[in-house]
Structure 1
Amino acid sequence: DASASALAEVLPVSRQAIAKHLAVLQDVGLVEPVRVGREVRYRVLGSQLAETARRLDLIGAQWDRRLATIKQIAEALESE
């Protein structure tokens, strides 16, 4: 768990930019805010993150197949 301020201390990004990114991650269900006193910390939701990584792997594999097909077509056109 970490706050936007804590993350800004260790990342080369402004606190405002981190807060915006955290809001997007919260909107898509990858992090959840946890209030600790006056501070809001964000907790990564591991199961959701793992599912997102799996989906991105599938999308990457689909793109690899598409690019391989484009390459084959381009090479066939070159040899004509």
Structure 2
Amino acid sequence: MSHPRADTSSVASVFAALGDPTRLALLSRLADGPAQSVVELTRGTGLTRQGISKHLAVLEEAGVVSSARVGRESRFAIQPAGLAEASRYLERASRQWDEAAARLRALVED
């Protein structure tokens, strides 16, 4: 089954963004509740606000978080749609592997 290049390209950017432990931790923190500011997300990380901002920019570019200005600060929230596309890709890949394993098992058992 082939998939459009754009589909795999956008999914690859999500996986690349989530491949960094700091970005994965930020996404986990955002998944736990409401939108948060860079200051809130920096607390307890040992990183600077500038460092966290750079990580958030990568996550936003990948489409897994969004930002909105609230007064003088930007607040970041998780974007489920970006993660849903990656989840669908993993589900397809899992089905393909299951089918391949079943074919191999049938071949070996015959």
Q: TM-score range by the shorter chain?
A: 0.5 to 0.7
Distance 1:57 1:67 in 2: 15
> Across the two proteins, how many residue pairs are aligned to each other?
73
Query: Following superposition of structure 1 onto structure 2, how do residues 1-80 of structure 1 map, counting pairs within 5 Å?
Result: 1-10=35-44, 12=45, 14-15=47-48, 16=51, 18-29=52-63, 30-34=65-69, 36-37=71-72, 40-44=73-77, 49-80=79-110
Structure 1 residues 13 and 66: alpha-carbon distance in aligned structure 2, compared to 1, 3 A threshold: farther
Structure 1 residues 13 and 77: alpha-carbon distance in aligned structure 2, compared to 1, 3 A threshold: farther
Please, what TM-score do these two structures have when normalized by structure 1? 0.59
Higher relative contact order, chain-length normalized (CA < 8 Å, sep 6+)? 2
* SS of 2:75 mapped into structure 1: strand
Structure 2: give runs of 5+ residues left out of the alignment: 1-34
RMSD of aligned Cα (Å)? 2.8
* SS of 1:14 mapped into structure 2: coil
* SS of 1:22 mapped into structure 2: helix
The answer to whether the 8 A contact 1:33-1:43 is kept is: yes
Structure 1 residues 13 and 72: alpha-carbon distance in aligned structure 2, compared to 1, 3 A threshold: farther
Q: Looking at CA atoms only, which structure, 1 or 2, has the larger radius of gyration?
A: 1
Identity %: 18
Structure 1: give runs of 5+ residues left out of the alignment: none
Please, what TM-score do these two structures have when normalized by structure 2? 0.48
